[in-house]
Amino acid sequence: MTWPEDTETHDPTLPLAGVRVLDLSRVLAGPLAATVLADLGADVIKVEAPEGDETRRWGPPFHGADAAYYLAINRNRRAMVLDLREPADLDVVKSLAAECDVVIENFLPRQLMSLGLDAVRDSSPHAVWVSIRGASSSGPLGDLPGYDAMAQARSGIMSVTGHELTGPTKVGFPVVDVVTGLYAAIGALGALLGRHADQGRRAARVEVPLFECGVSALINQAANHLVGGAVPGLIGNLHPNVAPYGPMPTADGQIVIGATSNRQFAALCAAVGRPALADDPQFADNASRLAHRVKLDDLLAATFVREPTKVWEAELGRAAVACAPVNRLDEVFLEDQVSAAGLVQTAKHPHGEVKLVASPLRIDGQRPPIRRAPPLLGEHTAAIRDALGVVAPPG
């Protein structure tokens, strides 16, 4: 029994061409990790329970029977339905695991054992095994389920997001799931490199916990606490370490500015017609600007509000000062950069063409293409079974 090769969308020019990935995960972090590998050329087979990945139902909006949420993170793979409670279907997973390079799963430890997937893992020592968890198995939370919102709350991300009027808020997209998915892909790639360097050893088992990934994503906020004991309050869109840095009101909206050095601050002040601010002792360096941030922001806001956003974009652009409009999503996809970069691609789908955000990477000047639209539930089950020589169960 051999891995059923995907001759239809195989691209030998991509860096992971020839790498085989078995995706047993669902929802976001695991499928996203598989998508990163698939975008780079890996051959991914997604295995779903008969009811399918939950995100297929997380709509509206829908494209055919599948929610946009599912479409966002399940491109460039084939999909089959297997009931892992059935011994014959578990044998199919075991056969695929025996032929693949990476397995990605996000079962709770007790689910992994009850389904017999721990035995599948142990019988496939050559395969990098990537386990996504709510929290590390070495701690008291390791056996508990986890979702992005809970990880944002427990990791402290919510405590530094929002302002006095809103109270703590979560980030407006599943940031911990995304960070976890990216760490999972990195862990898989690192383990593949390690396996290549020492082909005699068992492939690594990589655990990727949401909680720990959320804490790691705090970056400077975590360091501010560990080094300086800071317990930050809710400062909204302000930066805890840099000023001026954040949104300014304009005549027709908002623009985000950032001046992270004295040179940049002087350039900003000159560009907005307030060069004297750069010579004011209250704003002489970043520490001074932080100490007098409220006054500085008020002075700058009184200037920015006089002109539209586009005017300030042009002025600050000429001065090489970092800035950006606060776009709505419809405005994001009207940005010239999106079209020029080919970030949105159209994929052929059984229910009609669908537009998707492609990989943000460029490899040798080219963006990896969407080679296959997100598959329908069980779309390739029969073909994969045939290739494996496995007879489908009756009924």
pLDDT in tens, 373-393: 999 999 999 999 999 888 766
272 — pLDDT class (breaks 50, 70, 90): very high
Query: Which region among 66-75, 92-101, 195-204, 250-259 has the lowest average model confidence (pLDDT)?
Result: 195-204
* Average model confidence (pLDDT) across the chain: 94
394 — pLDDT class (breaks 50, 70, 90): low
Give the span between the Cα atoms of 324 and 350, in whole angstroms.
Answer: 38
The mean per-residue pLDDT over the stretch 303-325 comes to: 96
pTM: 0.93
The mean per-residue pLDDT over the stretch 285-302 comes to: 96
Three-state SS string across the chain, please? CCCCCCCCCCCCCCCCCCCEEEECCCCCHHHHHHHHHHHCCCEEEEEECCCCCHHHHCCCCEECCEEHHHHHCCCCCEEEECCCCCHHHHHHHHHHHHHCCEEEECCCHHHHHHHCHHHHHHCCCCCEEEEEECCCCCCCCCCCCCCHHHHHHHCCCHHHCEECCCEECCCCCCHHHHHHHHHHHHHHHHHHHHHHHCCCCCCCEEEEEHHHHHHHCCCHHHHHHHHHCCCCCCCCCCCCCCCCEEEEECCCCEEEEECCCHHHHHHHHHHCCCHHHHHCHHHCCHHHHHHCHHHHHHHHHHHHCCCCHHHHHHHHHHCCCEEEECCCHHHHCCCHHHHHHCCEEEECCCCCCEEEECCCCCECCECCCCCCCCCCCCCCHHHHHHHHCCCCCCC
pLDDT of 199? 67
| Residue tagged active-site, from 39, 177, 285, 298 | 177
pLDDT of 390? 81
The mean per-residue pLDDT over the stretch 306-317 comes to: 97
202 — pLDDT class (breaks 50, 70, 90): confident
The mean per-residue pLDDT over the stretch 284-302 comes to: 96
Is 177 noted as a catalytic residue in this protein?
Answer: yes
pLDDT of 393? 66
> Is the pLDDT assigned to residue 286 strictly greater than 80?
yes
> Is the pLDDT assigned to residue 155 strictly greater than 80?
yes
201 — pLDDT class (breaks 50, 70, 90): confident
The mean per-residue pLDDT over the stretch 230-249 comes to: 92
> Is the pLDDT assigned to residue 395 strictly greater than 60?
no
> Is the pLDDT assigned to residue 121 strictly greater than 80?
yes
> Is the pLDDT assigned to residue 342 strictly greater than 70?
yes
pLDDT of 389? 85
